Amino acid sequence: MTFGHRLQHAMRQFGPVCVGIDPHPALLRAWGLTEDVDGLEAFAEICVEAFDGRVAVVKPQVAFFETYGSGGLAVLERTISVLRASGTLVLADAKRGDIGSTMDAYANAWLGAGPLGADAVTVSPYLGFGSLDPALELARTNGRGVFVLAATSNPEGAQLQRITAPDGRTIAQTMVDEAAARNAGPGLGSVGVVVGATLTEAPDLSGLNGPILMPGVGAQGGGVDSIRALVPAASLAAVLPSVSREVLAVGPSTTALIGRTAQLQEEFAFLQR
């Protein structure tokens, strides 16, 4: 079964919400945890207990694990392994992008059979969309997914993403169209895009036929209204709202984390109707 099919099934079963595991130092402190590998592990274990088997996708922010070196990566490996073993989809938010053999190595790390292998990974196409081919090919072979940065909500992103190419399309639109070309065929494709939920305008997503990861929901200001404004009605079922701070702020109580997640799942249930 392709990643697109598995994701579609999970979104219908649990709702479309993707919950982040973002062990920011400020959150570790707020949860009464130490800013070291032990605190990181405790944070990850609480998140796994709260989200495993209750959400469509869990998205660990890789950078917050990397900052602790090999110990942090070991925690990330265990987190990915536990979630995937129980059937919860894991999206590694690594935002990798390079060329040739280096991109091939990144693809094998995050989409292969190794300890960091996830169900999907975020990638940056801004060395040219074709530079992502090793990841796209391995994802297709292994039944995994790739989420391509297209129109991000950070103000600096517009400097590049809104440039108009000679063919009249913005760079962001070009990235969406390139992803769409990889999603030909029936069912939800496995090449998604990342589009910020706080944008005032977005590329045309009507032909994507793939998942749309939308960060910036909740604490950052995005929500139901912004999603409706940015995404065509026919594509709403492919939207995966990504929430992190909005949920994690109520921790470390697993009961509170579960409750806030359930509220958001109800809020965004309209996407699957």
What is the reported pTM? 0.97
Contact indicator for 120, 145 with CB cutoff of 8 Å: yes
How many domains does the chain fold into?
1
Report the phi/psi class of residue 69: left, alpha or beta, with left for phi > 0 and alpha for psi in -120 to 50. Answer: left
**Got the DSSP string for 119-188?**
SEEEE--TT-GGGGHHHHHHHHHHT-EEEEEEE-SSGGGHHHHTPBPTTS-BHHHHHHHHHHHTT-SSS-
Model confidence at 94: pLDDT above 80: yes
CA dihedral sign, ordered 185, 190, 195, 197? positive
Domain containing residue 208: 3-272
CA dihedral sign, ordered 24, 200, 192, 170? negative
pLDDT band (50, 70, 90) for residue 231: very high
pLDDT band (50, 70, 90) for residue 219: confident
CATH code, 59: 3.20.20.70
Contact indicator for 40, 68 with CB cutoff of 8 Å: yes
Q: Over the stretch 137-172, which tens digit does the pLDDT of each residue have? A: 999 999 999 999 999 989 899 999 999 999 999 999
Contact indicator for 223, 198 with CB cutoff of 8 Å: no
CA-nearest of 226, 146, 155 to 194 is 146
Residues catalogued as catalytic:
95
Q: Over the stretch 56-90, which tens digit does the pLDDT of each residue have? A: 999 999 999 999 999 999 999 999 999 999 999 99
| 3-class secondary structure, 18 | strand
